[in-house]
Amino acid sequence: MANRHLSRSVALQSLFEWDFNEQEKPDKNIKEIVERNLENFAPGMMDTDFTHSLIDGVVSKRKYLDTIIEKAAPEWPISQIAAVDRNVLRIGLFELIYGDKKNVPYKVAINEAIELAKTFGGDSSGKFINGVLGTVYREMGEPEDGSNKDPVEEKLAGAVVYRKDGKKFLFAMVHDVFGYWTLSKGKTEENEIPEDGATRKVKEEIGLDIKIKKELGSNDYLASDPERGKVKKIVSYFLAETEDSELKLKETGGLNDLKWFELKDIIDLNMYDDIREIMAKGIKALTHKSKK
């Protein structure tokens, strides 16, 4: 474990130097920097594969990781984040999204990133890193932590939102930071019926006034919260019509795009399996009704 912490430290120092010099020497070889830093800061460390895997992963996925950072911390453009913090976040996010969870569980990845920030960053770096990574962590599925604790239940509501454009149907979908097109949804308030919750959340999240047409069913999934632990999210979905055409995405750490899609384009979208099933139910109900 100590070797892994040292590996992350070397990776951070190497990425910092590469990032810092990129404007003046964009072709500077990251591998040369890593080998020099391994020799200077980790002499005698036999297994350097982990260091190289972090470096290669962050460099190859940097644009995608930076997009997630900007969505999770919208008040901080990537160029305005301190270079140390920026590269700590890249390492932490890479481990959260792409890392081997058996060797590096989610919480270990977050804690290691916080420790790097405290060691190499400023006074508030640890808190900043924890906040950004925590935002992403809450958007991800349940970690494999072996916990047997019963999850907290949370009720949500969402909708397959459509509008008519002549004889065509258009569907409003949102895109999350993990690369999937999905449906607008959100947490319902206490004593709020699901239909009202779906109507309110769609308005808040994508700016559309909707009319509920049909209940499509529900699904549930496990998510993780740093404070509450496992959370079982139960989502009720509805088919809903709107006459609005302008989409307005609410600033959120979990979503980065929204768009209207024609029916013929939906089949090729990258969607979660459960969302694809809900979409299929909505389309079936809609097309069946239109044939009558």
Give residue 171's pLDDT band: very low, low, confident or very high (50, 70, 90): very high
Query: Could you tell me how many residues make up the chain?
Result: 292
pLDDT at 149 over 70: no
Torsion sign across C-alpha atoms 31, 33, 36, 37: negative
96 pLDDT higher than 80: yes
The matching CATH number, chosen from 3.30.70.270, 2.60.120.1440, 3.90.79.10, 3.40.50.720, for 152-291 is 3.90.79.10
In the block, residue with structure tokens 């991800």:
140
Distance CA 138, CA 132 (A): 10
Q: Does the fold of domain 152-291 match that of domain 2-139?
A: no
The whole-number average pLDDT for the span 148-159 is 81
Contact (CB, 8 A) for 82 and 125: yes
Radius of gyration of the chain (CA): 22
pLDDT beyond 70 at 1: no
Q: Where are the domains of the chain?
A: 2-139, 152-291
Q: Which residues, 6+ apart, have CB-to-CB distance to 165 below 8 Å?
A: none
**Is pLDDT above 50 for 147?**
no
Do residues 176 and 140 make contact, with C-beta atoms less than 8 angstroms apart?
no
Query: pLDDT of 233-285, one tens digit each?
Result: 899 999 999 999 999 998 766 788 999 999 999 989 988 888 999 999 999 99
Q: Which CATH superfamily is domain 2-139 in?
A: NusB-like (1.10.940.10)
Q: 113: which residues sit within 8 A by CB, 6+ positions away?
A: 88, 89, 91, 92, 95, 129, 133
The answer, yes or no, to whether residue 150 has pLDDT greater than 70, is no
Q: How far is CA 155 from the centre of its chain?
A: 20
State the chain's mean pLDDT as an integer. 86
Q: Please state, in angstroms and rounded to a whole number, the distance separating the CA atoms of residues 185 and 167.
A: 27
Q: Where does the chain show beta strands of DSSP type E?
A: 152-165, 168-176, 181-182, 185-187, 211-225, 229-241, 255-262
If you average pLDDT over residues 129-154, what whole number do you get?
Answer: 70
Give CA–CA dist 126/112, Å, rounded. Answer: 10
Is the pLDDT at 145 greater than 50? The verdict is no
Is residue 197 predicted with pLDDT exceeding 70?
A: yes
Q: What are phi and psi of 39, to 5 degrees?
A: -70, -40
Percent of the chain, pLDDT > 90? 53
Rounded (5°) CA angle 227-229-232: 125
Confidence of residue 144 (pLDDT cuts 50, 70, 90): very low
Per-residue pLDDT reduced to its tens digit, 56-93:
999 999 988 998 888 888 778 888 899 999 999 999 99
Sign of the C-alpha dihedral, residues 57, 63, 64, 70? positive
Between β-strands 152-165 and 229-241, what pairing exists: parallel, antiparallel or unpaired? parallel
Q: What is the pLDDT of residue 100?
A: 81
Please report, rounded to a whole number, the percentage of residues in the chain having pLDDT higher than 70: 89
Give the pLDDT of residue 184: 95
Which band of pLDDT confidence, cut at 50, 70 and 90, is reported for residue 46? confident
